[in-house]
Structure 1
Amino acid sequence: MEDEKSNESLEPSQSKEPQEPPLRKMTVWLDESVLIVLLLLSLAGIVISAYSSQGGYFFWLVMIPIFWLGAVLSSRAQARRAGESDVSIKTLLCFETLHWGGVLLAVIAVFVLRHKEIVDDVTAVLDILLVIALGTYLNGIRIGWRFSLIGVFLGTTAMLIAYVEQFLPLAILIAVIFILFSLYWGKRKRTIRQQSAQDIHHAS
């Protein structure tokens, strides 16, 4: 009788479906949040730059430290998700500081060119967008596709500003599509992982 009771008590625990680790959920959620926040801020920067070149300059200067912070958070999340707990925060900070410090210097160089009137306001804004787009895209190759997606958005928007008069509705549409795609893809990957884990669980 005691053996039967012990077997019955074990059955519920053995039949439990495998759950996605909380750490993975948290890091994926962090990646998606960084993407959404940076896309919305970038969209705000594009609107400001369209109506005030001077305001756009200062906005993108402020945005570079925010991109740096987003890159640090995404890098840390990716390292933890991959089980690379030995990657120190100091290493991530050094790498991202060097990367975004270079982007900052390039943006300042554009300011200097504008101050010397070598380029006009529109050209300066487009140059800044392309510099940040390239920096974000290249950073994303290392830390994750979502960050590269922000770079694609900025680069595409720069081309829209150059060739389309009413570019803002298209820029908003692209931002919405990218956000929805990120959420959909993240959910799809989680579903596939859970299904695979369930298949392994049932097979065992």
Structure 2
Amino acid sequence: MTDDSMISARRKRQIEAIILIILLVLSLTGIFINDYSPADGFGYWVMMVFVFAFFAIVLGWLQSRQSGEDFMTVLRDQALHWLFSLLVVGGASIVLKPEDDSGLIILLILSLATALDGLRVGWRFCIVGIFLGVSAVIPVYTEHFFWVELMIVAAIVTLTIIRSFWLRKNN
């Protein structure tokens, strides 16, 4: 591996870690909004489908640059994945009323779409998808779910930072 490719691999990991943190913070924001106002939470999670799609495309672009894969193929695959996810969200919005806890259903759909896309764009996206799924279920078991989810995010971010330092030290 040349110095240039090692630098770009390191930079790619840094960008992936930043995207992970951004998505986790946006997820916590959505959980808070959904708790305060289910109708607003519904709209927030629909908007997040586009945000997650954007970041998935960015990660796909980074991977295509590193691997030499055709970006148009990656873009097509990502666009179809997130278009179908948006169609399912649209179907859920027709069946469910936004004022009912339909935001949690959208959250579960986004969880699945994110975790599955993580198989293509990287483990960090899988982690976010799993976190979203857990976040949709935790409120069923505790009233203090936001604090539990905040601790989970803190643990994920801490472990990601520790892993980054460990990788940097070993390279």
Q: How does the TM-score come out when normalised to structure 1?
A: 0.77
Give matches, 1:5-24, under 5 Å: 21-24=6-9
Structure 1 residue 30 corresponds to structure 2 residue 15: yes
1:107–1:128 contact (8 Å) kept in structure 2 = yes
Structure 1 residue 61 corresponds to structure 2 residue 61: no
Indicate which of 82, 95, 103 corresponds to 2:85: 103
Structure 1 residue 179 corresponds to structure 2 residue 147: no
Indicate which of 58, 74, 80 corresponds to 1:92: 74
Q: How does the TM-score come out when normalised to structure 2?
A: 0.91
Aligned length: 169
Per the TM alignment, residue 93 of structure 1 is displaced from its structure 2 partner at its CA by: 1.4
Structure 1 residue 144 corresponds to structure 2 residue 129: no
2:96 corresponds in structure 1 to 114
1:129–1:155 contact (8 Å) kept in structure 2 = yes
2:60 corresponds in structure 1 to 75
1:14 corresponds in structure 2 to none
1:28–1:77 contact (8 Å) kept in structure 2 = no
Greater radius of gyration (CA): 1
1:31–1:77 contact (8 Å) kept in structure 2 = no
Structure 1 residue 46 corresponds to structure 2 residue 31: yes
For structure 1, which segment, 178-187 or 150-159, has the greater mean C-alpha deviation from structure 2 after superposition? Answer: 178-187
1:146–1:182 contact (8 Å) kept in structure 2 = no
Secondary structure of the 1:121 match is coil
Q: 1:19 to 1:184 in 2, by over 3 A?
A: farther
2:17–2:160 contact (8 Å) kept in structure 1 = yes
Structure 2: how far apart are the matches of 1:104 and 1:149?
20
Secondary structure of the 1:56 match is helix
Structure 1: how far apart are the matches of 2:167 and 2:77?
29
Gaps of 5+ in 2: none
Secondary structure of the 2:96 match is helix
Structure 2: how far apart are the matches of 1:179 and 1:171?
12
Name the Cα RMSD after superposition. 1.9
2:60–2:75 contact (8 Å) kept in structure 1 = no
1:49–1:55 contact (8 Å) kept in structure 2 = yes
Residue identity in the other structure for 1:168? F
